[in-house]
Structure 1
Amino acid sequence: MSKKRIGILTSGGDCAGLNAAIRAVTRRAIEGYGWEVVGIHNGTLGLISTPVDAEVLDHKTFSGTLLRQGGTFLGTTNKGDPFAYPMKDGSLKDRSAEFIEGFRELDLCGLIGVGGDGSMKILNKLCERGNIPFIGIPKTIDNDVACTEFSIGFTTAVNVAVDALDRLHPTAASHHRVMILEVMGRDAGHIALHAGIAGGADVILVPEIPYDMEKVAAKIRHIYEHEHRSHALIVVSEAVKAADGKPVMKQNDEGRFNYGGVGHVIGEQLYKMTGAETRVTVLGHVQRGGKPAMRDRVIASAFGVSAVDLLAQGKTNRMVAWQHRKVVDVALEDVVSHYNNIDVSGTLVHTARGLGICLGDE
């Protein structure tokens, strides 16, 4: 492949480690192949904007502290699907042709997209329609992208949750309370399970394992009566359903519904059933921000280098993934057709049960 220009964008929710991935793509493209890299602003919105919203990236772009910063300096979006873009009059318009035209206008020969499973589906479909060489890099604090053991941002989010548990424990012990920590994770409970094990939780509730409040209450009573401890820690994933079998959701200012509030529901139920004084902490977007953890920086860097190498090899419609302590590439059609839930018979669930942690089902 001759000298060319490639584009990179970040799409979906932000997380720590995105800037490390953009940096790796830029440095590998320039140092390894003498290519030019164009950073596209605000995800897919940058290519459907008039004029196209983008900038050329080079070594000077990363001469400061971007490697150490959370978020994405290019900006991102988790709304405005180009295939069904919401217009001011309330209608939906297919703007996929504008996305493709924006790509052509920048004179790009390939695109690297850093996103979660939803972004991968949209970007893969857009690039197939426009015959655009595309390589995906997985990122999400939820760690729910299929075919990869880790996605960018997950480790940092777990570290934030563990830090919160470390801070909640002494105040729980001081006031003889049950502290409930509600974490993000959408429909997958990876953050809750990892943080709960690392943070010494007594109860971990995740969407993949239906729970019985009587079992949770029994665990708290056991702690009080047999472990002679007057405090406890509970970690709850935001998508855990309430007693009526429905997830707890709130409507935002834009009219969309988001998960949030199940921790308070469980806290009230637990108080009524046991009399235990409960307090609830909802971490929310705190898990997305902050300085990237070491593993997120390393994996992001490895993903970025490998993504550029795949384009150089003429490969397309692939996603880089972390498997068995190395980077591999997988077909995007395999990624977008699966979802990475917790393996309920896997090692971490077995570990939690072995530690005596209640998962709400036994």
Structure 2
Amino acid sequence: MARRTTTSRRDAIRRIGISTGGGDAPGLNAVIRSVALAAHNHGWEAVGIRDGYNGIFLPDQYTDGGLIPLTPERVRGITHLGGTIIGTTNAGNPLKYPVRQRDGRVVEVDRSDDLVKGLAAAGIDAVVAVGGDGSLTIANALARKGVRIVGVPKTIDNDLSRTVVTFGFDTAVSFATECIDRLHSTAASHRRVMVVEVMGRYAGWIALNAGVSSTADVILIPEIPYDIDTVAEKVPERYARGHGFAIVVVAEGAKPLGGRHAVIEKRAGQAERLGGAG
């Protein structure tokens, strides 16, 4: 017997929201344009949620509201633009939302249920979440609560599992490599040891790729805890061979043997700021 197919109101999509979270990266506006045009072709309305999910949580902060209508006219000509036209943020994580208490303390609370209700109140039937580790962790939590989610892997850190290369990574490596290349002449001229810290959070992809591309002498990455004595031996070894300078590339999440990541700052609702080799 043929299986009967029923269509419920839950299945109907009329309006989708797009959220960009975390650091900005090349390609965000191209994704926004593609999603908006695809939605238009399906007869759906597309809206951009301002600054991660702040457009839902804090709509009154925006003079024209927390949602941006993404019509074909609105997204025309944005592909080549840097950043994101709907804004982004690395603060206000709805899973660890900062809330000030009466005694002045700021504590982190889970406001994901409030976000689910806010999306429903805004008439958003599905969300396209564009982001990296943090943003897609939030998206996964929303999906578990019944929100229809499509995740788009965006991060310069390239630290998302089951994704070979995330967009934003190639640009980050190219820029870091160019910067390190430019330091070679200065290091050689002044016979200096140059220590270059690069981004990447808890993954060493940027440091490894940029370091190898720019022929760095030492590369420290989070995945392989470093022995500072071994690093200290490498530098004079280069001088003894007559090279007269050294380039050390350090991932921001690098950590010593038996130690942990150096943390510069940690604020409620925000990811901790890492300090490389300290």
TM-score between both structures, scaled by the size of structure 1: 0.65
Aligned partner of 1:61 in structure 2 is 74
Aligned partner of 1:75 in structure 2 is 87
Tell me, in whole angstroms, the C-alpha distance in 1 between the residues paired with 2:154 and 2:128.
13
1:35 aligns with 2:44: yes
Deviation at 1:261, TM superposition (A): 5.3
Tell me, in whole angstroms, the C-alpha distance in 1 between the residues paired with 2:76 and 2:269.
41
Change beyond 3 A, Cα 1:94–1:202: closer
Q: SS state of the match for residue 100, structure 2?
A: coil
Deviation at 1:19, TM superposition (A): 1.6
Aligned partner of 2:178 in structure 1 is 163
Aligned partner of 1:96 in structure 2 is 112
Tell me, in whole angstroms, the C-alpha distance in 2 between the residues paired with 1:253 and 1:99.
21
1:110 aligns with 2:126: yes
Q: Show CA shifts across 1:222-268 (max 9, x none).
A: 32223x31122111111112477233221368797411252xx5xxx
Tell me, yes or no, if the aligned pair for 1:181 and 1:236 is still in contact at 8 Å: yes
Equivalent residues in 2 for 1:1-362 (5 A)? 4-30=14-40, 32-50=41-59, 53-64=66-77, 66-89=78-101, 90-129=106-145, 131-226=146-241, 228-242=242-256, 245-251=259-265, 257-260=272-275, 262=277
Aligned length: 259
Deviation at 1:168, TM superposition (A): 0.5
Q: Which has the higher contact order (CA 8 A, sep 6+)?
A: 1
Change beyond 3 A, Cα 1:77–1:225: same
Tell me, in whole angstroms, the C-alpha distance in 1 between the residues paired with 2:25 and 2:260.
28
Tell me, yes or no, if the aligned pair for 1:9 and 1:39 is still in contact at 8 Å: yes
Tell me, in whole angstroms, the C-alpha distance in 1 between the residues paired with 2:226 and 2:179.
24
Tell me, in whole angstroms, the C-alpha distance in 2 between the residues paired with 1:232 and 1:75.
40
Tell me, in whole angstroms, the C-alpha distance in 1 between the residues paired with 2:148 and 2:129.
11
Change beyond 3 A, Cα 1:248–1:95: closer
Tell me, yes or no, if the aligned pair for 1:85 and 1:93 is still in contact at 8 Å: yes
TM-score between both structures, scaled by the size of structure 2: 0.83
Query: Percent identity, aligned pairs only?
Result: 44
Tell me, in whole angstroms, the C-alpha distance in 2 between the residues paired with 1:71 and 1:29.
22
Tell me, yes or no, if the aligned pair for 1:179 and 1:234 is still in contact at 8 Å: yes
Aligned-residue RMSD, C-alpha:
2.5
Change beyond 3 A, Cα 1:25–1:8: same
Deviation at 1:134, TM superposition (A): 0.8
Tell me, yes or no, if the aligned pair for 2:46 and 2:70 is still in contact at 8 Å: yes
Change beyond 3 A, Cα 1:255–1:24: closer
Structure with the higher fraction of residues in helix conformation: 1
Change beyond 3 A, Cα 1:42–1:190: same
Q: Comparing 45-54 with 16-25, which one deviates more in the overlay?
A: 45-54
Tell me, in whole angstroms, the C-alpha distance in 2 between the residues paired with 1:91 and 1:208.
31
Any stretches of 5+ residues in structure 2 without a counterpart? 1-10
Tell me, in whole angstroms, the C-alpha distance in 1 between the residues paired with 2:109 and 2:35.
32
Deviation at 1:173, TM superposition (A): 1.4
Tell me, yes or no, if the aligned pair for 1:3 and 1:34 is still in contact at 8 Å: no
Q: SS state of the match for residue 185, structure 2?
A: helix
Q: SS state of the match for residue 59, structure 1?
A: coil
Q: Show CA shifts across 1:109-131 (max 9, x none).
A: 221101112221222212331x2
Change beyond 3 A, Cα 1:215–1:113: same
Q: Show CA shifts across 1:165-189 (max 9, x none).
A: 1110111111111211110111110
Tell me, in whole angstroms, the C-alpha distance in 2 between the residues paired with 1:3 and 1:247.
44
Aligned AA (1:141): I
Tell me, yes or no, if the aligned pair for 1:48 and 1:95 is still in contact at 8 Å: no
